[in-house]
Amino acid sequence: MQKKIIVGITQGDTNGVGYEVLIKALADSRINELCTPVIYGSSRLLGFYKKLCSGVEQFNVHVTQSASELHYKMVNLVPCVPDSYVAEPGKMTEEGAKAALQALERAVEDLRSGKIQVLVTAPFSKSNMSREGFSFPGHTEYLSDAFKIAESLMLLCSPDLRVGVVTGHIPVSRISADLTKEAIVSKIKILAKTLETDFTVRHPKIAVLGLNPHAGDDGLIGSEEINIIAPAIEEASREGILAFGPFPADGFFAAAEYRRFDAVLAMYHDQGLIPFKALSFQQGVNFTAGLPVIRTSPDHGTAYGLAGKDKASAESMMNAIFMACDIYRHRERNKDLLANQLYAG
């Protein structure tokens, strides 16, 4: 039983839908067959939300003070917040942000030490977290800093579509200034490597979008495509990466051109995430590529408007758990293949 993948799951903002979607996902019997889940949160808060969720009467947890002492046939919970914390579904509160940060810090500590093997994060509110001194735009940037990685990639994944972004959580007014040839080449390389290593895609084909309407229309509507994006694609191609573009974003998605590629690289957050969520919202998973560890999350936010109403779908959380386990197995298989090659050599 101890050979099952140990999946750490953070509670996220305790007033959002995090607890509801993780309870519904972990109540599925397939989860315990696949992995050993470890919730980082509060048994009191979990009990509160369990009462609000239908069809989870048989859902029980083993409370442990350390991820080193797990019950491998049950869902485990590591308490991270004071018992005095209360749930206020739908409200943005100081306690909700503090609880999210405390759970995340404890889970990352255990991920770093190997007590858990992959991390799945429930959503928190970026604006609420910033009030508590959280200096990062989101989980992606926090984890990159925690594991001393200069650059990672936000990659949204579904069975039919993978979309990464060059610039992430920054104001639209900064996009053009932050968009450099070096940044695009770096993201293309991270994307190509993760497709091969984490998704077992051989010789992946990557579509690169333009920045401006009609991909600049030969310079009539902007010059970034000519001066920055096309040269980046050419450099990546010289290094053996199958990168193509730049494509006009609207026509690319409208004509379902993404089906011809293994992934799409968008220039900025909403350029990639709007079509992704329109096409794959319920199934989508957010994966942080480029890290030495594995982190996934649902592709939705705290959804305060749904919190406490038993209306939030657990499909994205379920897919995030499945994907984290799949990627872990792929990486372990690659390690074995490399070790066998070195031994044979």
**DSSP string for residues in 10-49:** E---TTTTHHHHHHHHHTSHHHHHHEEEEEEE-HHHHHHH
Which of residues 258, 289, 320 is at a domain's end?
289
Q: What is the pLDDT of residue 223?
A: 96
Which of residues 251, 266, 289 is at a domain's end?
289
Clarify whether residues 254 and 156 are in a common domain: yes
Q: What is the C-alpha to C-alpha distance for residues 232 and 324, in angstroms, rounded to an integer? A: 30
* Averaged pLDDT for residues 176-198: 97
User: Is residue 206's pLDDT more than 50?
Assistant: yes
Q: What is the C-alpha to C-alpha distance for residues 237 and 287, in angstroms, rounded to an integer? A: 25
Clarify whether residues 129 and 163 are in a common domain: no
Q: What is the pLDDT of residue 316?
A: 95
Please indicate whether residue 261 or residue 83 has the higher confidence score (pLDDT). Answer: 261
Clarify whether residues 305 and 212 are in a common domain: no
Clarify whether residues 102 and 203 are in a common domain: no
Tokens 């993760």 correspond to: 194
Return the half-sphere exposure (C-beta side, CA atoms, 13 A cut-off) of residue 119: 30
Clarify whether residues 13 and 31 are in a common domain: yes
* % the chain with pLDDT above 90: 86
Tens of pLDDT, residue by residue over 127-160, are 999 988 899 988 999 999 999 999 999 999 999 9
Q: What is the pLDDT of residue 345?
A: 57
Please indicate whether residue 79 or residue 345 has the higher confidence score (pLDDT). Answer: 79
Tens of pLDDT, residue by residue over 68-90, are 999 998 999 999 999 999 999 99
Q: Please provide the size of the chain in residues.
A: 345
Clarify whether residues 186 and 285 are in a common domain: yes
Of 201, 324, 184, nearest in space to 262 by CA? 201
The pTM for the full model equals: 0.93
User: What's the number of domains the chain is made of?
Assistant: 2
Clarify whether residues 236 and 120 are in a common domain: no
Which of residues 262, 289, 316 is at a domain's end?
289
Q: Residue 165: which CATH number?
A: 3.40.718.10
User: Is residue 31's pLDDT more than 60?
Assistant: yes
Clarify whether residues 163 and 212 are in a common domain: yes
Clarify whether residues 110 and 193 are in a common domain: no
User: Is residue 191's pLDDT more than 60?
Assistant: yes
- Computed over every residue of the chain, the mean pLDDT equals 94
Q: Residue 73 is part of which domain span?
A: 1-149+291-345
- Of the pLDDT bands very low, low, confident and very high (cuts 50, 70, 90), residue 2 is low
* Of the candidate ranges 29-33, 84-88, 114-118, the one whose mean pLDDT is the lowest: 29-33
User: Is residue 11's pLDDT more than 50?
Assistant: yes
Clarify whether residues 135 and 47 are in a common domain: yes
Clarify whether residues 17 and 54 are in a common domain: yes
Return the half-sphere exposure (C-beta side, CA atoms, 13 A cut-off) of residue 76: 22
Q: Which residues contact 231 (CB under 8 A, 6 or more apart)?
A: 181
User: Is residue 1's pLDDT more than 50?
Assistant: no
Clarify whether residues 194 and 277 are in a common domain: yes
